[in-house]
Structure 1
């Protein structure tokens, strides 16, 4: 997959990123690709925060994957930093190509380079195939998560 470039997302990437976020049963109920205003505002906050890295995977000038990497400083583990991988999406026609593996491996290496001792991620309980994918990459289910909408 040497034809893939993984780079920091720009505001121009937002339509492609939001389209990927909306392109599954969960995203279809919570994303609004026709109204990019709230995404632009969120992008500005992400871009201004040095602990955030919104990444895109690009092949032949086309955005085919994305994820958000957040570095979290902490007191536990002797003051160690950890990273959080969120919003991993692969374009429908690129799934099964190894791109997801490449993107996650990139995030792990980026986490190491930023001094993190642990990388964690969340995945909706309904995404069974994604769970298998993450386990194949060496992630272990370790916590029970909770959410509360505000």
Structure 2
């Protein structure tokens, strides 16, 4: 999917400049630290423990190798400060609309409220979605993340659906 996007892409998140680029295997440790930095993720078992790196390395490789997926990182002063995953989903509803699903949006705790998340999401809507031929940008957010819900609503997203999840054991 990255071939359709012009990356790296420079965002301006006042007062700093942030570069967006596709994630690579070299970013693994920084990405796992971002996951573990979040209390909800940590409560689900995401911890920055080197013994779990092979599991995350496998997941990152699967995302990078999947032509319908991309993991984007935001780099500020040579440090990964945010990430999000994009998944392109063709569909039948809405007259065959293609959806761009935004998942796993995280900004480092010390960089939240700095405008990075907003700049990333505006890039998704204004640049990535049109470049990828998406008709609709959608996302889910954990019900416990009230601040995130207000953030997405400020960006123009509307809470139109209720999401359901069911954990299953891999076969």
Q: Same fold (TM over 0.5)?
A: yes
How far does the alpha carbon of each residue in 1:53-87 deviate from its partner, in whole angstroms, 9 at most, with x for none? 10000011110000001000111111111010000
Give the conservation status (yes or no) of the 8 Å contact 2:35–2:47. Answer: no
So what's the TM-score if we normalise by structure 1?
Answer: 0.96
Structure 1 range deviating more: 24-33 or 135-144: 24-33
Separation (CA, whole Å) in 1 of partners of 2:113 and 2:48: 24
Aligned to 1:84: 101
For 1:24 and 1:46, how far apart are their aligned partners in 2? 21
Alignment of 1:39-118 (within 5 A): 39-108=56-125, 109-118=127-136
Residue 43 (structure 2) pairs with residue 29 (structure 1): yes
**Runs (4+) of structure 1 moved beyond 2 Å?**
none
Report if the CA contact (8 A) 1:8-1:56 is conserved.
Answer: yes
Do the aligned residues in 2 keep the contact of 1:71 with 1:111 (CA within 8 Å)?
Answer: no
Q: How many residue pairs end up in the alignment?
A: 150
Q: Which residue does the alignment assign to 2:28? A: 14
CA distance in 1, matches of 2:47, 2:25: 16
The correspondence for 1:141, drawn from 159, 163, 169, is 159
TM-score (norm 2): 0.85
Q: Gapped runs of 5+ residues in structure 2?
A: 1-11
Structure 1, gaps ≥5 residues long? none
Q: Distance in 2 between matches of 1:58 and 1:24?
A: 18
